[in-house]
A and B are shown apart, each in its own frame.
Chain A
Amino acid sequence: MRKADVITALIILIIGILVVYDGVRLGVIGWGAAGPMSGLYPFLLGMGLVIGSLVVMGRVFIISRKSMSNEPFIRKGGLRNVLYVAIPAALMVALTEFIGLYIAAGLYLALYMRWIGKHRWITVLAVSILLPLISSFVFDKYFLIPLPNGRLRGLLGF
């Protein structure tokens, strides 16, 4: 838990430094044509992040050495479960760029249900075909929200 706490605070610190840096680039002190310089606001926010993350790290190292829990950030079996969800989901998004959300989602549903859920093929096929189909009708046709079709549609020419 402590390691995760420090790493997260470090990432926030880096973001804070980047924000402060950009604020300084835009100018912090001074008075422009439209009031305060445009870097002031980001600068203040970045400083908040920098100070805050330093305090969090400081607390981990100095004060709460004893009081902090030593339980791991994630249990062993838990990590596997999380990755089982996260990796296929990321794959789905990556695939969406090429073959569109509907087909990618269908594959993702089928993969997860068959691989993790061990469902029968009939259930797998029914859900992974019907759900994207229904949503395409609801969103594309009824609410007129075009969902990502990827480059496949362009290649097939429709």
Chain B
Amino acid sequence: MESLNNLMMGFGVFFTQYNIFVAVIGIFLGTIVGVLPGLGGANGVAILIPVTFIMPPTSAIILLACIYWGALFGGVITSILFNIPGEPWSVATCFDGYPMAKKGKAPQALTAAFSSHFIGAVFATVALTFLAPLIAEIALRFGPPETFSIMMLTFSAFVALGGKSPIKTLIAIFLGFTMAAVGIDIVSGKLRLTFGTTELMGGFHFIVAVIGLFGIGEILLTVEEGLKMKSLPVRMSLRAMLETWKELPRYWKTLLRGALIGCWMGFKPGGATPASFMSYGFAKQFSKNSEKFGTGIMEGVVAPEVAAHAAGVSAMVPMITLGIPGSPTAAVMLGGLMIWGLQPGPMLFKEHPEFVWGLIASIWASNAIGVIIVLAFVPLFAAILKAPFSVLMPSIVFICAIGAYAVNIRMIDIWYMIIFGFVGYTFKKLDYPIAPMVLALVLGDMAETAMRQALIMGQGSPLIFFRPPFALPIMILAIIIFFWPTISRWKQKTVKKECKI
């Protein structure tokens, strides 16, 4: 009940003219960002963080969160109309969304996808509303060893889930932590990893890294392929929407399953992409007309979308409660929180309830507003991508440069952005995952502080990381997840051997 009361208070915080205005702007910008190549959710949020400096923190987080939702919506538009998945978790949407649009059913496909988004968001927000305070309550008892063990869990989930090569994921994580360590040692105040240069003293800012890795890197990949944007025609009509909404309840099982998968997977870092594929796979397995999947049926659009959006929302749970983001975009938002002077983690619920509950309420409200906005303006958003690439591309580079410069007002950051662009381009091609690297860069200081404080607590003994009651099970879980790829491979091999016998 307390949660409900708090939620009501949150709605009170959200429903001011200014915040609603901010939410609408955020959804608009976010959808544009999601539609444009090279400007995904993480990147859009990163570029706009400097803009939020002049806002109150609650409005600022609402803006960033809305950009995130908008980017998720935008990814749907590109995958259904252009067959270009803007984000990895939209790949599964292309399977049935694009064939549907080809059959002239683009409005239906879009309506189904956006509505599933909304349903996924509602599910995940319910989970967020009731689960987050509980987790925060437990997390209040966490000390440095527990914080460190949670980080271990986060990153081992990345190694197990994301990327083709676990060792490359590990390297990416270590690189992220190393970049975070450049500059001044937070405990002793000594300079480190600067090698005598003044340029390196300021370290690397995660926003610059995000803009370079995701933005410039993505652009380089896009131009290399010489992509031609070709949109299928779309004409939204009220009739098509109503038709779709009539049909949607038929897929309640798919929706429910997808939402649950999304909530569960989104909790773990990097979960949205596997969640969308899992949901699609399960829907195909359990559906009566599973052979029609991939030919353009609505169920195939609904399944991945509901899971992806539920995962996107539930990625906020660990971010607010533990200070550990579940996705790169959440990581950038977390960085924003720190810049606004808020300490992410369980104390947020105690110290700034209006911030937390305003954010949670805004997720409910802004997703409802968002569905209406995107449905109404789909042709407009699709038209943006029809603009010639030779106009879009340099404009995007320019906007990225503004974003990179504005964080610290440092010229060197624009150079870093370009360099990170090449790194992102190379890493994408060689299967080094970028998301865990960004996460490590954001969490670097926190991880280091936790580790060193824990070592001080344990007087140098690393056994402190395994102290009961919380750190021990989390660490064990982390180790199991870390070795999961190896275990499952080994299991497969033994099973194969047994079969031969």
Which chain A residues have a beta carbon within 8 Å of chain B's beta carbons? 1, 4-5, 8, 12, 15, 18-19, 22-23, 26, 31-32, 34-36, 38-39, 41-42, 45-46, 48-49, 52-53, 55-56, 59, 73-75, 77-79, 81-82, 84-86, 88-90, 92-93, 96-97, 101, 105, 108-109, 112-113, 116-119, 123, 127, 131-132, 135, 139, 143-148
Contacts and interface: CB of A to CB of B under 8 A. Distances in A.
Given A22-B193, A56-B168, A42 B181 contact: yes
Nearest to A49: B174
Given A49-B171, A105-B394, A148-B411, 11 more contacts: A8-B432, A26-B190, A36-B456, A45-B177, A53-B171, A78-B225, A85-B219, A93-B401, A97-B411, A119-B388, A147-B406
Contacts of A116: 390
Contacts, number: 175
A112 B390 contact: yes
A135 B455 CA distance: 49
12 contacts: A41-B452, A49-B175, A53-B171, A81-B224, A92-B401, A96-B401, A96-B411, A113-B391, A127-B395, A145-B406, A148-B405, A148-B414
A2 B493 CA distance: 27
Interface in B386-440: 388-391, 393-395, 397-399, 401-402, 405-406, 409, 411, 414-415, 418, 421-422, 425-427, 429-430, 432
A137 B165 CA distance: 46
B26 to A, nearest CB: 15
A42 B178 contact: yes
Contacts of B406: 139, 145, 147
Contacts of B220: 82, 85-86
Interface of B: 50-51, 53-54, 165, 167-168, 170-171, 174-175, 177-178, 181, 185, 187-188, 190, 192-193, 195, 216, 219-220, 223-226, 388-391, 393-395, 397-399, 401-402, 405-406, 409, 411, 414-415, 418, 421-422, 425-427, 429-430, 432, 448, 451-453, 455-456, 460
Main secondary structure of the interface of B (DSSP, over half): helix
A8 B423 CA distance: 10
Given A4-B426, A117-B388, A108 B224 contact: no
A99 B451 CA distance: 46
A74 to B, nearest CB: 7
Closest 3 CB pairs of A and B: A117-B390, A78-B224, A35-B456
B414 A93 contact: yes
B418 A112 contact: no
A93 B418 contact: yes
A56 B187 contact: no
A85 B429 contact: no
A41 to B, nearest CB: 6
Contacts of A147: 402, 405-406
Contacts of B224: 74-75, 78-79, 81-82
A116 to B, nearest CB: 5
Contact of B398 (A34, A109, A123): A109
Contacts of A15: 175, 178
A107 B320 CA distance: 43
A89 B220 CA distance: 11
Contact of A109 (B175, B395, B452, B455): B395
A97 B413 CA distance: 12
Contact of B226 (A32, A78, A131, A139): A78
Contact of B391 (A19, A96, A117): A117
Nearest to A52: B171
Contacts of A78: 224-226
Given A139-B406, A145-B50, A55 B429 contact: no
Contacts of B418: 86, 89-90, 93
A4 B425 CA distance: 12
Nearest to A30: B460
A145 B406 CA distance: 6
Contacts of A34: 187-188, 452, 456
A4 B188 contact: no
A35 B452 contact: yes
A85 B393 contact: yes
Contact of B181 (A5, A41, A117): A41
Given A77-B226, A85-B219, A139-B406, A131 B430 contact: no
Contacts of B165: 56
A74 B226 CA distance: 13
A49 B388 contact: no
Contacts of B389: 117
Contacts of B452: 34-36, 41
Contacts of B53: 143
B177 A105 contact: no
Contacts of A12: 171, 175
